Structure 1
Amino acid sequence: MNLRHATLHQLRIFLAVARHNSFARAAEELHLSPPTLSLQVKQLSETVGQPLFEQLGKKIFLTATGQTLADACADIESRMERLSQDLAALQGVEKGSLKLAILTTVKYTVPKLLGGFCAAHPGIDVAMVVCNRENLLLRLASNQDDLYIMGQPSENMDVVCEDFADNPLVLVAPPSHPLVGRQRLSPKRLKDEPFVLREPGSGTRLTTEKFFAGQGVRLKTRLEVGSNEAIKQTVAGGLGLAVLSATTVVSELALGELVLLDVVGFPLIRRWHVVYPRGKRLSPAALAFKDWLFEHRPRPGPSR
């Protein structure tokens, strides 16, 4: 066995497969064809001299050798990332790269801030991933990005979490709903109203259910929908009420496609956070964007 024959490219591919426990998902992440990826892993296994994965049914698992190699690859990747940051620091903040992962709901706010940052720092190479809460937490747990922008992370995660802006949640209805125009509605008045909710685990859904449970109201769920866009269309079609981030419904409210309901306790105020693993050394580019985020963050406006 001579690991000097292993390439960084092979190690990166192997680590992606180990992280996903899937050749197909690793190939998708790395933009490689599955046969090409499989060949690289096979060649690495031959270099190591022992199998790296075992297949049980349709699932693959790391062997003991594979786990040892995966741990080493993670160390190598971390060291290469630090090297990249050190080199970028020597060149100043105008060079380097920035990898962001943001919650789907934040796509109405952060890309505009990112656009201004890129215009001010054209030498920084920026990549951004938009995903739901579950996938965002998975990316955070495996330290795949520089910064994560989301609501409240899980309490059991060892992370730095800094809030930078309000995220008011509003209750919307179709314009024809009989409660439109009524003043100071009690939350209990909605106990028989059908609701359109995000998928289980969504931060918006968790906040909504917690609020109504505190009012002694169990929501009547008509539909569970996986995107804010689909929820807005469903509510506009008269299939129920919904609680959404105010940033996601600006256009629909302006056009009269949706209407705010005046319910006591609303808007529910959550906060947007910039998050990263505790102990992570942020690159100059990441630090610069974090500063930009706080300097140019949306200012609170009237609640209604």
Structure 2
Amino acid sequence: MLNLVWLKSFVEVIDHQGFRPAANHLGIAQPTLSQHIQKLEEQLGVLLVQRGRSRCEPTRAALTLLPFARSMLRLDERARESVMNTRLRIGASSNIGIYMLQPHVRAYKDLGTGPEVDLVIDSNPAIAQQLSNGELDVAVMEWWNETPGFHAQPWRNEPVVLIVPPDHPWVSRADIDRDALSGMSLIGGEPGTGTGRLLATFFGGHGPFPSVSMQLGSTEAVKQAVKAGLGASLVLESCVKEEVRAGTLVAIPVREPGLAKELMVIYPGTLARHPPVSSFVGHLCS
């Protein structure tokens, strides 16, 4: 079993690029820090740090170990906080975290009855990985691949709309139908959000499907591209409320049966009765 104290010393040496600044930051003697690294190297049977005159460099083995060490230290911190009910760590995929969830987190904090709250916003796949690793207590996501040991429950059904620039020929349309949408070339946004599955369901799994002309990686990048006249895109309605209000984008609904994503709240089954988790989920889904 890897010693967490040694791993903490290892991470500090890498982050500070030297033993002296790492020891000062940890508040321990430099010989003690050196002993931690030596013991860790002996345990793993590899060299982790190349000692230089001006600074230390991580070896290839160190770079391989580093993300695992950080994850183990975060998990240790989360375990302590969870047992003591001192902090709730909430994850959200980018669109949800940026455009929808924050007022709910603020309202929960304003109740003054729960623990301190951390909100982590990242891509949908990254949030799923952190939740699986135990680094998050609860997550709100656009897409979740059902996994044993986790509870998933609906939060809200969010419409998906077609966004176009104000000078687009379709701005006067009340909606867009399946046939028109299938023939379009769309700007792609963040991968891993389940939009592909949503379209497959909408088009019956057979197509024809809209083509994707670009993959820009985020809704913010997509909105800027649409404003610049580079094309149209499908986004969650809540993500473009400000732009629609300001007149810089036009959002066109999809004709019935419509397009919508069921946003999910997910948490480990072991935390179902954990007071901070149950209180936050109850607050969010009430």
TM-score clears 0.5: yes
* Displacement after TM superposition at 1:130 (Å): 0.4
Q: What is the letter of the counterpart of residue 100 of structure 1?
A: I
Determine which of 92, 102, 115 is the counterpart of 1:102: 92
Measured after TM superposition, the shift of residue 145 of structure 1 is 1.2
Q: Deviations over 1:152-203 (max 9, x none)?
A: 3113454111112222211222222222323554322234422111143232
Looking at structure 2, the residues matched to 274 and 229 of structure 1 have their Cα atoms a distance apart, in angstroms, of 23
1:218-267: CA deviations, max 9, x gaps? Answer: 32222111111111121122211111111101111112222233433464
Pairing of 1:200-239 with structure 2 (within 5 A): 200-208=191-199, 210-212=201-203, 214=205, 216-239=207-230
Distance in 1, matches of 2:110 and 2:160, equals 31
What secondary structure sits across from 1:50 in the alignment?
A: helix
Instruction: State how far apart, in whole Å, the 2-side matches of 1:165 and 1:184 are.
Output: 22
Write the distance in 1 (CA, Å) between the matches of 2:191 and 2:79: 37
1:186 equivalent in alignment to 2:177: yes
The Cα RMSD (Å) is 3.8
1:42 CA drift (Å): 6.4
Match of 1:147 in 2: 138
- Whether the aligned pair in 2 keeps the contact of 1:169 and 1:246 (CA below 8 Å) is yes
Q: 1:33 to 1:292 in 2, by over 3 A?
A: farther
CA distance in 2, matches of 1:136, 1:54: 32
| Structure 1: stretches of 5+ with no match in the other structure | 18-22, 89-95, 296-304
Q: Aligned to 1:181, what secondary structure does the other structure show?
A: coil
The DSSP-based 3-state class of the residue aligned with 1:279 is: helix
Counterpart check, 1:10 vs 2:6:
yes
Aligned to 2:109: 118
Q: Please point out which of 46, 65, 87 is paired with 2:38.
A: 46
Give the Cα–Cα distance (whole angstroms) in 2 for the partners of residues 101 and 117 of structure 1.
Answer: 15
**Does the 8 A contact of 1:171 with 1:242 survive in 2?**
yes
Matched residue, 1:301: none
Q: Distance in 2 between matches of 1:253 and 1:229?
A: 14
Q: Distance in 1 between matches of 2:221 and 2:8?
A: 37
Question: Secondary structure at 1:221's aligned position in 2?
Answer: strand
Measure, in 2, the Cα distance between the counterparts of 1:118 and 1:52. Answer: 47
One-letter amino acid of the structure 1 residue matched with residue 264 of structure 2:
H
1:98 partner letter: L
Structure-2 separation of matches of 1:164 and 1:148:
11
TM superposition score normalised by structure 1: 0.70
The amino acid that maps onto 1:201 is G
**Residue 129 of structure 1, CA deviation:** 0.9
Q: How far 1:115 moved relative to its partner?
A: 0.7
Alpha-carbon separation, structure 1, partners of 2:119 and 2:155: 19
Correspondences of 1:131-142 after superposition (within 5 Å) = 131-142=122-133
Q: Which stretch of structure 1 is more off in the superposition, 218-227 or 258-267?
A: 258-267
Normalised to the residue count of structure 2, the TM-score between the two structures is 0.74
Query: After superposition, where does 1:45-84 map in structure 2 within 5 Å?
Result: 46-47=38-39, 49-51=42-44, 58=60, 61=64, 84=81
Q: Is the alpha carbon distance of 1:241 and 1:273 closer, same or farther for their aligned partners in structure 2, counting shifts above 3 Å?
A: same
Identity %: 23
Cα–Cα, structure 1 residues 278 and 123, in superposed 2: closer, same or farther, change >3 Å?
Answer: closer
Q: What runs of 5+ residues in structure 2 fail to find an aligned partner?
A: 24-29, 49-58
| Contact residue 194 and residue 239 of structure 1 kept, 8 A | no
Q: Residues 199 and 224 of structure 1 are in contact (CA less than 8 Å); yes or no, is this contact kept in structure 2?
A: yes
AA of the residue aligned to 2:6: Q
Give the total of aligned pairs: 262
- Contact 1:198–1:205 (Cα < 8 Å) also in 2: no
For residues 238 and 76 of structure 1, do their structure 2 counterparts lie closer, same or farther at Cα, with a shift above 3 Å needed?
closer
Matched to 1:251, the amino acid is E
Distance change (3 Å), C-alpha of 1:256 and 1:288: same
